[in-house]
């Protein structure tokens, strides 16, 4: 309430957040998911962003709001529609993408948890928005991520948040092209050499990025490049992680690449047939894996 008295946030923001947080999980989900509750859901989202945008003196409160926004989307990704509706509201639009981008670029705290959550939500917002409406900020965010990767031990976000954000951004064709031009494959190759061998989720995110990129002809020369050896490095992940989702995404990646002549040579070099037979001898709960192996 003190921030309202100081005119830092809009009247009613504190009450809106408080009432939502007092509700049980079931009621919170009802507000976010029931079609008749759209206005309430969007009002709550506006309130959280009001705090993030205007409160500079209470980092803990801002992080708390970011955590709830992140949780809302993690629980059900389709709720991004509420965020996009707020952003494009005819009478009272609110540039949520710009708010998060500003926060990421101005937050200088030693802990990266708040930036992790902000980058997570920002990436999903960019994915959900039409590219022409957010192209400038989207490119700036992508550039910020690429620049941060130049010093992998001093990232402004965790490596898991970093790879998640890229994975989501690359779904936009324009950003996939920008990433490839910006030495993106060198970044992915370095991650395959190091972080992917120590963290299964990072490994999944990186292979998923490669799968997304494999649909673009402008990336083929990088998959064919023996000096960065993408295909060989991807196959080595299975020496460390045999998670079903990693095996599945690796198989769909190789399925795309097998159509490229030089990549066929790479697959032959790693003896991919023996690798497939080895995987077929294991039991997989996901029948899609068995079908893809066949």
Please write the tens of the pLDDT for every residue from 191-208: 999 999 999 999 999 999
Q: What is the DSSP string of 49-100?
A: HHHHHH--S-HHHHHHHHHHHHHHHHH-GGGHHHHHHHHT-SSS---HHHHH
Q: What whole-number distance in Å separates Cα of residue 276 and Cα of residue 63?
A: 45
User: Which has the closest alpha carbon to 221: 274, 181, 251?
Assistant: 181
Whether the pLDDT of residue 51 is over 60: the answer is yes
Range list of H helices, 170-238: 173-181, 184-193, 200-213, 220-224, 230-236
Domain extent for 50? 2-215
Q: What whole-number distance in Å separates Cα of residue 103 and Cα of residue 61?
A: 13
CATH code for the domain in which residue 162 is found: 1.25.10
User: Which has the closest alpha carbon to 122: 146, 87, 159?
Assistant: 87
Give percent of the chain above pLDDT 70: 95
Q: Are 60 and 50 in the same domain?
A: yes
Query: How far separated are the first and last CA of the chain, in Å rounded?
Result: 62
271: left (phi over 0), alpha (psi -120 to 50) or beta: left
Whether the pLDDT of residue 90 is over 80: the answer is yes
Whether the pLDDT of residue 6 is over 70: the answer is no
Q: Are 63 and 129 in the same domain?
A: yes
Whether the pLDDT of residue 82 is over 80: the answer is yes
Q: What whole-number distance in Å separates Cα of residue 173 and Cα of residue 195?
A: 26
- pTM exceeding the 0.75 threshold for the entire prediction: yes
Using CA atoms of 257, 260, 261, 262 in order, give the dihedral in degrees to the nearest 10: -60
| Total of domains in the chain | 2
pLDDT per position as a tens digit, 91-150: 999 999 999 999 999 988 888 899 999 999 999 999 999 999 999 999 999 999 988 766
Upper half-sphere CA count for residue 132 (Cβ side, 13 Å): 0
Residue ending a domain, among 215, 242, 264, is 215
Q: Are 196 and 251 in the same domain?
A: no
Q: Are 193 and 67 in the same domain?
A: yes
Residue ending a domain, among 155, 181, 215, is 215
- Is 258 in contact with 276 (CB distance < 8 Å)? no
| Average pLDDT score over residue span 45-68 | 92
| Average pLDDT score over residue span 21-30 | 94
pLDDT per position as a tens digit, 148-176: 766 666 678 999 999 999 999 999 999 99
Q: Are 135 and 200 in the same domain?
A: yes
> 141 Cβ partners below 8 Å, 6+ apart?
101, 104, 119, 122, 123, 126, 165, 169
| The pLDDT value given to residue 164 | 97
| The pLDDT value given to residue 72 | 96
Residue ending a domain, among 156, 182, 215, is 215
Confidence of residue 71 (pLDDT cuts 50, 70, 90): very high
Q: Is 144 exposed, middle or buried (0-12, 13-18, 19+ CB in 10 A)?
A: middle
Whether the pLDDT of residue 283 is over 70: the answer is yes
Q: Are 35 and 91 in the same domain?
A: yes
Q: Are 183 and 241 in the same domain?
A: no
Whether the pLDDT of residue 7 is over 70: the answer is no
Confidence of residue 235 (pLDDT cuts 50, 70, 90): very high
Q: Are 199 and 234 in the same domain?
A: no
């Amino acid at each position: 309430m003190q921030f309202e008295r100081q005119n830092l946030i809009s009247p009613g923001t504190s009450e809106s957040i408080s009432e939502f947080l007092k509700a049980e999980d079931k009621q919170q989900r009802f507000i976010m998911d029931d079609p008749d509750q759209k206005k309430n859901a969007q009002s709550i989202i506006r309130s959280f962003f009001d705090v993030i945008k205007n409160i500079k003196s209470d980092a803990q409160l801002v992080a708390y709001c970011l955590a709830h926004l992140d949780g809302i989307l993690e629980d059900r990704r389709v709720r991004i529609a509420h965020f996009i509706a707020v952003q494009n509201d005819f009478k009272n639009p609110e540039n949520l993408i710009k708010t998060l981008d500003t926060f990421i670029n101005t937050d200088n705290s030693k802990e990266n948890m708040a930036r992790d959550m902000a980058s997570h939500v920002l990436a999903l917002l960019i994915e959900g928005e039409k590219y022409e409406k957010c192209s400038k900020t989207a490119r700036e965010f992508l550039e910020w991520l690429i620049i941060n990767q130049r010093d992998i031990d001093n990232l402004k976000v965790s490596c898991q948040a970093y790879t998640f954000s890229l994975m989501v951004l690359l779904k936009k064709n324009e950003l996939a092209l920008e990433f490839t031009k910006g030495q993106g494959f060198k970044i992915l190759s370095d991650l395959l050499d190091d972080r992917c061998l120590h963290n299964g989720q990072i490994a999944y995110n990186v292979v998923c990025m490669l799968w997304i990129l494999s649909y673009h002809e402008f990336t083929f020369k990088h998959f064919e490049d023996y000096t960065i050896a993408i295909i060989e490095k991807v196959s080595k992940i299975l020496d460390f992680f045999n998670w079903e989702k990693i095996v599945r995404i690796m198989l769909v990646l190789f399925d795309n690449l097998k159509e490229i002549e030089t990549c066929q040579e790479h697959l032959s070099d790693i003896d991919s047939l023996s690798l497939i037979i080895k995987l077929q001898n294991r039991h997989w709960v996901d029948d899609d894996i068995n079908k893809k192996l066949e």
